[in-house]
Structure 1
Amino acid sequence: MLILHTLTGNKKISKAVIAPAEGIADRLATWERPVVTDYELGALLCAALPAADAAIEPGVYKAIVDRLSSFHLISPAKEFKSGAVFQLFGRPKPSAMEVACAVDPFACVTHLSAMEFHGLTDRFSKILYLTTPPDKEWREQAQERMARDLGQHMAVHRAARLPMLRYLGFERVEGVRVELMRRSSRGAFKAIKSPSIRVAMVGRVFLDMVREPDNCGGMQHVVDAYREYGSQYLSLILDEIDRHGKPIDKVRAGYLLESVCRIQHPRIDGWKDFAQRGGSRMLDPQGEYAPTFSETWKLSINVPSLLTDGRAGAGEHPPHAD
């Protein structure tokens, strides 16, 4: 049983506490992420128990955190609630993306930040765009993650009242402002080992561009990205928007691919079935309605650069793409 001795008012750590602290220190030496959360430290403590049903006495978790801190192996991350997130000794300064993905295990880098990661923009955004599940879904995923992480130690973890896996809200990380979107459908993403982040797949990024252009540098920047990279990533764009795009997403993307990128493809032709008249249907969902109109896509072309751009004409017949 882990115990904490108190003598003459000063806490002294027994060997039973030193041993798990050293084990946790060894694990942190090879920790893949740039920070560690209080939940993860508690899970490491459980993993260091000599038996699945071994008890953890009150005060032991704090004693171990204090010991690791006293040797400067961990230090509080100032942008989070005190005691919730710790930086690791000897690590190079991490990116905001790395820290955010370490603190929120269900968040992924999206929108303009994902465009930057995939080389779809030459902008260096001062905002980190993240997408994570809504509260209820986040809590459900957290319960599933804890069950996997803790396994047979779940009961001991709860009995000791160790920190739970919970959502840690943050508005800035590593000095970068965070724009967080809560979405049930985050779309496909991939986990990168170096840097240790999760980032939206390319096809999903192109879908987000037409769905939320204001989070992707604005509609004009979206037009430029489609024009420059639409042909290169055509198959990924078609697959993602076919599967997950709403009718209006298909109309907007179809217009951009056909009339701006000058691509003709049977799957794009199929999206024309989703075109329908309506005064609220605009290429830029956040823009003002413009009288210039695509008869093919039943869409107000409310992007100034496209009003005089001959390539944007709805009646053109672009070359066929294989």
Structure 2
Amino acid sequence: MSFSGAVEDALYERGSGVVTEPDFYRLTQELFASGRWRGEPISRLPKAWDGPRASALLSRFIREGMLTRDRDFGRGVYRLLDREGGETAEQVATLVDPFCYVSHASAMRLHDLRRGPDVPLHLSTLTRKAWGERQTGNAALGERDAGPAYPRIVFGDRLRRRTIAVHEVSRPVTVVEIDQVRVSTVGATFATMLVEPHFCGGMASVMTVWRRHARDHLNAIVEAVDEIESKIAKVRAGYILTEVVGIEASEISAWSAFAQRGGSRKLDPDGPYTPVFSERWMISLNISVANS
């Protein structure tokens, strides 16, 4: 089989109708390096392989009608034309962006912490600067491993007919895979609720989730809260776990070191300040705990 024929077969065996430029380069580079497909030598193997050669072959497949640009992306993402695109928006997002993961309220739904539709679909990915630093780090591993420095995939406002909200982070959280989708771990999802509750259904909804589910995921929560940089999120977590859920542990008590007397810290960052406090955690209880 010819090299281009082997590439075509390999594309159809990937199990996905979505192909990115980095995906295409890695696939062709692996075939070139092995020189074999399905145990047989590849005929008419190129003398060398690099980014420009991969781009030329990709353009040829587009001209021949095998690939087309994906409608939801400006460039860099393609679809196999004769394969039905059955991927969900979550699956497509984490397929095309290796640093993208489902987060916030959408992660809560995937972890069965909340019900109902997640509108918009919340996704997190690296900032442009962090993306470039990751590529520089990968390049240090060698040309064969890193490949060309392809630009970051840019998301629009909608993906597979769903409204999306993209959050940029300088450092991604730990992720797991659920239904072929990368999603923040359950512990990281709980921690995110206290950093940005407005993207997680609001603080009242967050309080309800913590009261119902925190005991079931306590170890994961403690580990994730320890890792986040936000001091006020640690204080919120400490207050909720000790004074609302009723859990006492030395690891949780240690977060009281981040409490600040005389400040204007609030349990709900988006609610008005009220002069009702937790003495232990030195935080304004500006949301009704009884009704949350």
TM over 0.5: yes
Q: Distance in 2 between matches of 1:57 and 1:105?
A: 19
Aligned to 1:105: 98
1:58-117 Cα offsets, whole Å, 9 max, x none, are 787445544366354x332111114x2112342452111111111111112111111111
Partners of 1:52 and 1:153 within 8 A in 2: no
| Aligned-residue offset at 1:253 | 0.6
The counterpart of 1:248, out of the listed 229, 232, 249, is 232
Are 1:35 and 1:85, in contact at CA under 8 Å, matched by a contact in 2?
Answer: yes
Q: In structure 2, what is the equivalent of residue 5 of structure 1? A: none
Structure 1 window deviating more from structure 2 (108-117 vs 164-173): it is 164-173
Distance 2:3 2:132 in 1: 29
Q: Does 1:123 align with 2:106?
A: no
**Aligned residue number for residue 87 of structure 1:** 79
Deviations 1:220-275 (A, max 9, x none): 11101101101111111112212335331221011111222122223222222322
Backbone CA RMSD of aligned residues: 2.9
**Residue identity in the other structure for 2:222:** L
Structure 2 residue runs of 5 or longer lacking an equivalent are 36-44
**Residue type at the aligned position of 1:42:** Y
- Pick closer, same or farther for the CA change 1:55–1:129 going to 2, 3 Å: closer
> Is 1:22 the equivalent of 2:15?
no
The Cα shift of 1:28 comes to 1.4
| Distance in 2 separating the partners of 1:174 and 1:211 | 29
Aligned-partner residue type, residue 167 of structure 1: R
Identity, % of aligned pairs?
31
Task: Decide which structure has the larger Cα Rg and report it.
Answer: 1
Correspondence list, 1:171-250, <5 A:
171=156, 172-192=158-178, 194-195=179-180, 197-250=181-234
Given that 1:283 and 1:302 are in contact with CA atoms closer than 8 Å, whether structure 2 keeps it comes out as: yes
Shift of 1:165: 2.1
TM-score by length of 2: 0.83
Q: Please show how residues 237-316 of structure 1 align to structure 2 within 5 Å.
A: 237-303=221-287, 305-306=288-289, 309=290
Question: Residue 270 and residue 64 in structure 1: after superposition, are their counterparts in 2 closer, same or farther (change >3 A)?
Answer: closer
Q: Which SS does the other structure have where 2:233 is aligned?
A: helix
Please say which of residues 245-254 and 221-230 is displaced more in the overlay: 245-254
8 Å contact 1:110–1:129 — kept in the other structure? yes
Q: Are residue 168 (structure 1) and residue 168 (structure 2) matched? A: no
2:18 corresponding residue in structure 1: 35
Question: CA shift at 1:276, angstroms?
Answer: 1.6
3-state SS of paired residue (2:255): helix
Kindly provide the amino acid, as one letter, of the partner of residue 219 in structure 1: M
Aligned residues of 2:194 and 2:233 also touching (Cα < 8 A):
yes
Question: In 1, distance between residues paired with 2:252 and 2:49?
Answer: 62
CA contact (8 A) 2:94 2:100 kept: yes
Q: 1:153, CA displacement in angstroms?
A: 9.4
Once residues 58 and 166 of structure 2 are traced to their aligned partners in structure 1, the CA distance between those partners, rounded to angstroms, is 33
| C-alpha distance in 2 between matches for 1:170 and 1:149 | 29
Letter in 2 for 1:138: W
| Shift in CA distance, 59/256, structure 1 to aligned 2, threshold 3 Å | closer
C-alpha displacement of 1:33 = 4.3
In structure 2, C-alpha distance between the alignment counterparts of 1:34 and 1:148, rounded to whole Å = 29
Gaps of 5+ in 1: 1-17, 159-163, 313-322
What is the CA–CA distance in structure 2 between the aligned matches of 1:237 and 1:58, rounded to whole Å?
47
**Corresponding position of 1:70:** 64
